Amino acid sequence: MAEIVYKLKSSDPERLTRISEYLQKISPEIHAVEALSVDSNYSLRFNVKQAPGVYETFSAQNVSDGTLRALAVLVGLFQKNEHHPLSLIALKEPEAGVHPAAAGVLFDALMEASYNKQVVVTSHSPDLLDRNDIPENALRAVVMEQGETIIGDVDEAGKTVMRERLYTAGELLRMDQLRPEGISNLADVG
């Protein structure tokens, strides 16, 4: 990750700025992230606000795991390879280790990145899905039925309550009501 950040500084500073803007929204104390190269070894440095106008530089081992995970997700989402364009980014639980209040910022980054490439995310986090602006065709529901994993479009009942803004996808997930089309509700089985 440090090598990618290092290369972005010269090859695509606008993209690095976009990553930094998202990271600042997730971790407001982070003023900037940069990477250093010494003998082909790369390391991350974080400029952290200590007081108004006072910043201190920390190495990656001195910042939270959540901050590093968020940076990794952002770098993954906004990386670019001129020789082999990326058409798919797959992320497992990108919100893991990040404060629940920052889930909305991650969702915004996921949506922005999806304009340029397909982004597939798996998550058990209702916080990531507590939004009224999730495109209806962007969600898939997953259940295990008789030892088989079933993935499908959200059932009509779920789509209807989200469309009418009665519940968010996150609220449906909390209530165990985010179900694939054609799968009966467990409460109805009996």
pLDDT, tens digit, for every residue of 23-78?
999 999 999 999 999 998 999 999 999 998 899 999 999 999 999 999 999 999 99
**What is the spatial distance between Cα 54 and Cα 61, in angstroms, rounded to a whole number?**
21
**pTM of the predicted model as reported, rounded to 2 decimal places:** 0.85
Percent of the chain with pLDDT over 90: 71
No. of H helices and E strands in the chain?
7, 7
Q: Say what the pLDDT of residue 111 is.
A: 93
**What is the spatial distance between Cα 77 and Cα 21, in angstroms, rounded to a whole number?**
14
State mean pLDDT over 81-86. Answer: 71
State mean pLDDT over 183-188. Answer: 56
Q: Say what the pLDDT of residue 80 is.
A: 77
- Cα distance between the two ends of the chain: 51
Closest CA to 60 of 77, 76, 41, 79: 41
Of 65-74, 81-90, 110-119, 141-150, the one with minimum mean pLDDT is: 81-90
| Residue carrying structure tokens 């919100």 | 95
Please tell me the total number of residues recorded for the chain in this structure. 190
User: Which residues fall within 8 angstroms of residue 166, CB to CB, at 6 or more apart?
Assistant: none
**Would the pLDDT of 185 be above 70?**
no
Contact 31, 48 (CB under 8 A): yes
Over residues 123-159, the pLDDT tens digits come to 989 988 988 888 888 999 999 988 999 999 999 999 9
Read off the pLDDT band of 184 (50, 70, 90). low
Q: Say what the pLDDT of residue 136 is.
A: 83
**Would the pLDDT of 22 be above 90?**
yes
Check residue 43 and report its DSSP letter: E
Single-letter code of the amino acid located at 93: E
Residue-range domain boundaries for the chain:
136-183
